[in-house]
Structure 1
Amino acid sequence: MKLLRFGEKGAERPGLLDEDGRVRDLSAHVPDIAGPALLPDTLARLARLVPGHLPLAPVDARIGPCVGSVGKFICIGLNYRDHAAETDSPIPEEPVIFNKWTSAIAGPYDDLCIPPGSTKTDWEVELGVVIGKGGRAIAEREARAHIAGYCVVNDLSEREWQLERGGTWDKGKGYDGFGPIGPWLVTTDDIEDPQTLPMWLEVDGHRYQNGNTRTMIFGVDTIVSYCSRFMSLQPGDIISTGTPPGVGLGQRPPVYLRPGQTVRLGIEGLGIQQQYVRGAA
């Protein structure tokens, strides 16, 4: 099942993608794709609906972030060995946790505005894990039962702010619009194995990233369990699980985004994002 949110920013409605690629309105069944709507019982109820009986959304409706009212936007750094190598970073012995602010969340096709003064805005295609059933101290063997589904994340990063300005990475990761999610939240029943998903990213048609979730250092179950040791996980929380090699920082010489470019990225079974890059606003 592919769940989504459609409509203008701040006024998105819950939706479902039918087998013909049309958006169906779920407003009569859940108030939003958020919080309680992501609990296992609610997802099971939505899965029993007949899509053809649901009203169609306007064909020109904007597709918004696939999850609303996100409480925590957790990220895992350096989770692919070859990405750690391209950034001259040591292989982590435990998952590296940092945060994106929830104000960074954007729709999958929204324009990307480079921050004022930025010269090193970079891209990162990542698998997002959306929590359904909350919990803490979750055992790895139980982790999958706590996941509502998966989505594409572009973990955009300002590398100067992240790496050259002191302190933690967070200041370079959380600028407004630096966390496009979606287009869909794909529930776990539609993804047989989250550790075998091809993923890619292109800028102006040039493919920079071409990876697969099978090369993660720490897999999805390990990450969910590990994060739950340090915080309670709640319905609608998002964990972005790291990026494969091919980021702009890792090019020789480095390559960063410029106004007028177009970024496209996708993960097999989870859809494709596209962002047009604009100058500082």
Structure 2
Amino acid sequence: MKPKVFSERHEKALREKKLRISFRQELRKSLLRLLWRYSIWGGWNNEENLTVDAVTNAILDRRGWDALQRWDGKQMVKADGFVDFIERGTPHHVLDAIELFLEQLEYKKRPSFIAELNNLFDLHHSPVRYFRNEFYVIDSAYLESKMLVEAQELLQITGFEGALDEFMQARTAFMEKNFRNTMIFANLAFESVLKAVLEMPNKRTGELIKKACHGGLVPSYYEGFLNSLHDFLSIVPTTRANEAAHGQGKDIKAISPALAELALHLSGSMIVFLIKRHLEKTPPQSDDDDIPF
């Protein structure tokens, strides 16, 4: 089964208008230039964009369209080719096209393309970013913070794929304003990192927190900091248990954006801290054969 593209992954949030995206015209033109520069050309006189042709066919197959379409302010109308589609198409369909373009791109060219792509979004003050084969819409200063980037990078470097997937699901949930799932997945990511760094895959959260605080992960000479850290580490699981994971009773308990963001913030901060401490205590082993004499 082919992976879903942006509009398919977020169909419900887009339909309910919980996820809104807009692109400046300058950004659209810059994106088009980027796509053109990385395209493979062929045909008569080398004037046929083979990559764009493949992307166009993929879009038509997925959407069930006879031709590319764009929004004219009232309804979907036929676009005048791929350029018109990128310059005037709905933003989520433009993101679909870029994700499909990346599928066509040579593997060795993807890192530089992604770097240029995210740089364009940054230069044009767009909240969209591409990470791990998906687009994300960042709608708060926190989500653009260096801490989030560092948490993602550390999870990738250490190979904690389960925790990384849960952390990105928390981020996606926040983007879609699903604050209950934001809290749940933020906590799951935190728990997964604890299990990984402590090598205790079957323990409960309380046991993991005790081990983290009293099993050597934090140096004993920190004195009173151990107890404070225990309380601090307990915030995310406690918040989740009290606010999201219990029965709701007669009425649905609404979780505020601020509370969900706090849970995500604490989870990300703890992930960075725990992985850094883990790497300090278990540095990579050197191969004796590689040590010069």
TM-score normalized by the length of structure 2: 0.24
Decide which structure has greater helix share: 2
TM-score normalized by the length of structure 1: 0.24
